[in-house]
Amino acid sequence: SSRPAWWTNAVVYQIYPRSFQDTTDDGIGDLTGIVQRLDHLSELGVDVIWLSPIHESPQHDNGYDISNYRRIDAVFGTEDEFDYLLAEVHARGMKMIMDLVVNHTSTEHEAFKVSASSRENISRDSYHWRDPRGSFKGGEPGAEPNNWGSLFGGSAWSWHELTQQYYLHIFSAHQPDLNWASTRVRTRVFEMMNWWMDRGIDGFRMDAINYISKDQRFPDSMIQFGGVWGDGAPFYTSGPRVHEFVHEMMRKVFADRDTDYLVVGETTGATVEEALLFTIPERGELDMLFQFEHVNLDHGPGGKWDRRPVQLRDLKTSWNRWQRGLEGRGWNSLYLSNHDQPRHVSRFGNDGDFRYESATLWATLLHMQRGTPFIYQGEEIGMVNADFSSIDQYRDVESLNFYAEATARGRSPQAVLELLRHVSRDNARTPMQWDAGPRAGFSGGIPWIGLGPRHREINVETDKASVKSIFRYYQELIRMRHELPVVALGTFNLLYANHPALFAFRRTLGEVSLSILANPSYQELPVPPDLRTGKVLLGNYGGEADPAVLAPWEARVTDIS
Ligand code: TEU
C-alpha cells in the first residue's frame, strides 16, 4: 500500500530494569540508573527501548505479576522519575515502549481481591473460578478442575479456601489469569492502556498475548507435561477469541492515534500461519511478534528442561520458513536473547576463545534478516551465562520451583543444578557489566543476584577499548539497517540449504543484493566458488578475511550487486 512503517528499519533494545543500573545502592536497578545510561544506547544507535515491567508488584516474578498498573513500583523510583526518563529518551530521539502484562495480574491486585471476596461478587467472573472435580474434596490431589500443569510447576489451579473454588494460573500461583471473556476486564485493560499512551509512551510489548482466550470448556489434555500434568497449551494458545480480543484492543486504544507507536506481541507457540493472522496490517492487530520456534530447537519433547544440542539445519529451516512465510505480508521480531533465555553466546556460540567471533556471527545472521531486531541488555558486549553452582544463587521462581519439584521426585541435585546452569532464566538476569570495578559499575551495594563470573574481563569499558569490540560491531549492523533499504526490506533467499556447516543467504531489493555468509563451527570452511565475489561490507575477521575460506565462527556481509 503506502510507505513502509517507521519500524521497518528500527532496532529495539530491551532493558531489564532490575539488573541495568542501580543508583540507590539497594542492589536493584532503577529508573534514574536508566537515565544515566541512555547515552550508551544513543551511541549504540538503537531507536526504541523496551522496558520490562516497573509497575507496582510484589515481585514474585520480577514484576510480571502486577498489583497496580498505574503506579511505578517504589523499588524502581517515583512517578516523576518515570516521566523524566521518558522525556530524556525522547530528547535523544528514541522511543520507549512498556511491557503490558495482562494475561494475568498479581493476586495482590485489587481486582483479584474483590473477585476472590465471595462467589456472589459482581466481579467474580474477572478471573477463572471453577469447582473441584466430581465428588473430590477441594484441595485434595486430583480435585483440580482439569489436569493442566502450570508453566512454573505444579497444577495450573490453586485452591481458594474462603470461597471453596479453584482459580486458574498458567504461570505461578501468584499470577491468576484474567478472564478476557468478561467485558469489564477488557474495558479496564483498554482504559489502562489509553492512560499509558496519554502519558506519552510509544507502545507496548504484550506479554503472553496469545494466551488471553481460553477454551471455556477447560478440557483435560492428553498431552504429557513434565511427567505429571497435562499440557493445557492447545486449549489456551491462540484460543477461540484471541484475534477478536486483540483487534478490539487495537481499535479501542490506537484507532485515533498517530501511527508512530509500536505494538509487539509475545506469542509462545505461534506458527507462521498464526503470525500472519496477527501481523497482516489490514487485519488491524499487532505490528510484529516474538515467536519461539528458533529458541525451542534445543528442547526435546519434555520441553525446556529436556535439553539437547541444536542442529544447524533445523535452525536454517526454521528461520527460512519464517522469513519466506511472512515476506511481503506480515512482520517478525528478530531475537536470540531476552530475560527468559540463556545468553546466546553461551548457548549457540563459544563463550571462550571465540567469544567475539561467535557473538558477532550470531548478531550478523540475526540483524541481516528481514524483521525488527531486538537486542537484550549485555548482548552488545557478549555477556555470558551466570555459571551458578548452588541453588541459593538462583532467584527465578521458575528455576526454584523446578529444582524443588525435580529433586522431590528423586533427581539428583547435582544433575538438576547442571541443567539450570544451561537453561535457567537467571543466566540472562545477572547485572549489566559496565566496567571492571568490584560490582561491574552496576551498584555500590550488594546486587540482588550474583554478578556474572567474568565481569572484570567482559564489560562495556573493556569491550569498547579492545580491537575486537562487539559493541562496535553492533553499531555497524544497526547503521546498515538504517542506511541500506535492502537490509530492512529486501527479500530473503537461503543458499545451500542442506549444507551442514555453512549458513548463507541472499537479500535483494531492486538492483541491490547482499550475500551473508557464516561459519558457525570450529572448522575452516571452503566458500563455494559462486559466493566468493563481491565487496565485503562487514565481517568479524576484518582485513584478514580470505574470499575462498571462512575461518572458525567467521561471518561476513558482501555486496554482490
Ligand atoms: O513469558 C511468557 C512465556 O510464555 C515464556 O517465555 C515463559 O516465560 C518461558 O516459557 C518460561 O521458561 C512472559 C515473560 O517474558 C516472563 O518473564 C514471565 O515470567 C511470563 O510471561 C509471565 O508473565
- Distance from C-alpha of 534 to C-alpha of 516, rounded to nearest angstrom: 11
Contact assessment for residue 130 and residue 166, using Cβ atoms and an 8 Å cutoff: yes
Atom of ligand 1 nearest to the CA of 292: 6
How far away, in angstroms, is 64 Cα from ligand 1 center? Answer: 8
Atom of ligand 1 nearest to the CA of 101: 23
Name the active-site residue from 207, 293, 340, 380: 207
Kindly give the pairing relationship between strand 303-307 and strand 299-300: antiparallel
Atom of ligand 1 nearest to the CA of 65: 23
pLDDT of residue 228: 86
What type of residue sits at position 522?
Y
3-state class of 542 per DSSP?
A: helix
Q: Which candidate, 149, 151, 147, places its Cα nearest to that of 305?
A: 151
Beta partners for residue 91, in sequence order? none
Hey, do 9-104+182-384+455-465 and 489-559 end up sharing a CATH topology, with the first three levels equal? no
Q: Which candidate, 275, 255, 272, places its Cα nearest to that of 264?
A: 275
Beta partners for residue 96, in sequence order? 49
- The stretches of 77-215 forming alpha helices (DSSP H) are 79-91, 110-115, 183-199
pLDDT of residue 214: 98
What number of other Cβ atoms are within 10 A of residue 45's Cβ?
17
3-state class of 482 per DSSP?
A: helix
How far away, in angstroms, is 312 Cα from ligand 1 center? Answer: 25
User: Is 266 annotated as catalytic?
Assistant: yes
- What are the residue ranges spanned by the domains of the chain? 9-104+182-384+455-465, 489-559
- The stretches of 255-311 forming alpha helices (DSSP H) are 272-279
Residue pLDDT tens, the chain, 561 long: 468 899 999 999 999 999 999 999 999 999 999 999 999 999 999 999 999 999 999 999 999 999 999 999 999 999 999 999 999 999 999 999 999 999 999 999 999 999 999 999 999 999 999 999 999 999 999 999 999 999 999 999 999 999 999 999 999 999 999 999 999 999 999 999 999 999 999 999 999 999 999 999 999 999 998 778 999 999 999 999 999 999 999 999 999 999 899 999 999 999 999 999 999 999 999 999 999 999 999 999 888 999 999 999 999 999 999 999 999 999 999 999 999 999 999 999 999 999 999 999 999 999 999 999 999 999 999 999 999 999 999 999 999 999 999 999 999 999 999 999 999 999 999 999 999 999 999 999 999 999 999 999 999 999 999 999 999 999 999 999 999 999 999 999 999 999 999 999 999 999 999 999 999 999 999 999 999 999 999 999 987 789 999 999 999 999 999
- Distance from C-alpha of 194 to C-alpha of 255, rounded to nearest angstrom: 11
What is the maximum span of the chain, computed from C-alpha positions, in angstroms? Answer: 75
Contact assessment for residue 490 and residue 370, using Cβ atoms and an 8 Å cutoff: yes
Cβ–ligand 1 contact at 348 (below 6 Å): no
Q: Which candidate, 101, 233, 125, 78, places its Cα nearest to that of 175?
A: 101
Beta partners for residue 539, in sequence order? 556
- Distance from C-alpha of 249 to C-alpha of 208, rounded to nearest angstrom: 15
Our CA dihedral for 189, 193, 198, 202, rounded to 10 degrees, sits at: 180
Fold classification of 489-559 (topology level)? Immunoglobulin-like (2.60.40)
User: Is 207 annotated as catalytic?
Assistant: yes
Cβ–ligand 1 contact at 64 (below 6 Å): yes
Q: Which CATH superfamily is domain 9-104+182-384+455-465 in?
A: Glycosidases (3.20.20.80)
Buried b (16+ CB within 10 A) or exposed e, 73-98: bebbbeeebbeebbebbeeeebbbbb
How far away, in angstroms, is 340 Cα from ligand 1 center? Answer: 6
Cβ–ligand 1 contact at 270 (below 6 Å): no
pLDDT of residue 2: 67
Kindly give the interhelix angle for 312-326 and 272-279, rounded to the nearest 10 degrees: 30
pLDDT of residue 343: 98
Q: Which candidate, 8, 91, 94, places its Cα nearest to that of 50?
A: 94
Helix, strand and coil in the chain, % to nearest 5: 35, 20, 50
What type of residue sits at position 277?
L
Kindly give the pairing relationship between strand 95-100 and strand 55-56: unpaired
- Distance from C-alpha of 327 to C-alpha of 411, rounded to nearest angstrom: 46
How far away, in angstroms, is 289 Cα from ligand 1 center? Answer: 14
What value, to the nearest 5°, has the Cα angle with vertex 381 and ends 377 and 384?
80
Report residue 5 as a C-alpha cell.
512503517
How far away, in angstroms, is 425 Cα from ligand 1 center? Answer: 10
Beta partners for residue 526, in sequence order? 549
Contact assessment for residue 118 and residue 69, using Cβ atoms and an 8 Å cutoff: no
What is the residue with the minimal CA distance to atom 6 of ligand 1?
340
Cβ–ligand 1 contact at 101 (below 6 Å): yes
What value, to the nearest 5°, has the Cα angle with vertex 69 and ends 79 and 32?
30
